[in-house]
Amino acid sequence: MAFNLKKVLKALLLSTNQPLSIKDVQGAFTRFHDQAALFAKTAGTEESVESAPVAAAVAEAAPVADVPAPEAPAAEAGASTEPAGDAVAAVASAPADEAVEVAVETSLEKDPELYSEVPSLVTATQIREAMDQIAADLRATDEGLVLIEGNAGYRLMTHPRFGRWVRILRQEPPPVKLSQSAIETLAVVAYRQPVTRGEIETIRGVSAEAGLNKLMERELVYITGRADSPGRPIQYGTTDQFLEFVGVKSLDELPASDVLSSRQIDEWLKNSSNAHKPNDADMGLDEQAEQLPLDATAAATEAAPGTAAAEGGETPAQETPAPEAPMEREIAPPTEPETPKES
């Protein structure tokens, strides 16, 4: 029976709660062949140990010719006798049944579908194809499990339909949705990162402190460092949990946006720093309209009431001269009576 890669991968996915990457799978196959080589070496050693008593029995049964051993000098013989005696005593005192830990294979680990004809190298394409088959089987059976490919690898997860039961078992509160302001702040961070709070507030036009704190509590945003600008402001970026939150494997898979592109944001920041006085075009007025000078505008304003009355069909009232004030008469000072002259 041929090796079944799909069954092995499914067992590996069920055995861990961490993402299973392609490198992890390839590393497992490498270690499998290393252990197989170790088992073969251990089995060969055991066979040689078991055949030793048989060889000794054969040697005893075979006739041995008497060959005189050469005589050694007395001094050398005396010097070498004691170490030989110590070695014999050490061997005699050694336990006969010394316990040795040897890795062995159980009967369950000899399934030909899982352990025979195991390829020494499994390519990334073969692993992806097998993972796609596992995902299709899970969707067809509808047993409440789904296979998700994240930025760190593949992971078996509970279907969102069973989320309420999982939260009840774990005694967790229901999820809370992000507010619109938090989503806008998260979008700016995702497309602009690393970004400072001042840049976020310049783009959105409102304070971003509350939104950033909320996103950091949800572990969607983290502090990446400090910018090389006056004051060394803190810079923010997105986490790996953000990728799982939006369902992408990398930031390159985020949808393209002309509004939140780096070029557009840089242009906004440049325009905000070099603010200009609003003109008629900014206010929605016609730039081609003729503008009157201030003197003519004041004259037209003064003539406006009379013009309006003439347009309404009413004749303006004639101006009557104001009565002249009576002139004050000059009163001559009283004269003294003339005295008669004496004749």
Closest CA to 195 of 236, 163, 249, 151: 236
CA distance 51 to 57: 10
HSE toward the beta carbon, residue 92, CA cutoff 13 A: 6
Q: Which domains are seen in the chain, by residue range?
A: 1-56+105-175 (1.10.10.10), 180-273 (1.10.10.10)
Structure tokens of 13?
A: 């996915």
Higher pLDDT, 72 or 287: 287
Residue 20, SS3? Answer: strand
HSE toward the beta carbon, residue 121, CA cutoff 13 A: 2
Higher pLDDT, 296 or 151: 151
Higher pLDDT, 264 or 93: 264
251-285: buried (b, 16+ CB within 10 Å) or exposed (e) per residue?
A: eeeeeeeeebeeeebeeeeeeeeeeeeeeeeeeee
| Number of Cβ atoms within 10 Å of the Cβ of 128 | 13
Q: Let me know: does 225 contact 235? Beta carbons within 8 Å.
A: yes
Among 153-157, 207-211, 219-223, 287-291, the minimum mean pLDDT is found in: 287-291
Residue 288, SS3? Answer: coil
Higher pLDDT, 90 or 339: 339
Task: Give the phi and the psi of residue 119 in degrees, each rounded to 5.
Answer: -70, 145
- Please state the pTM of the whole predicted model: 0.52
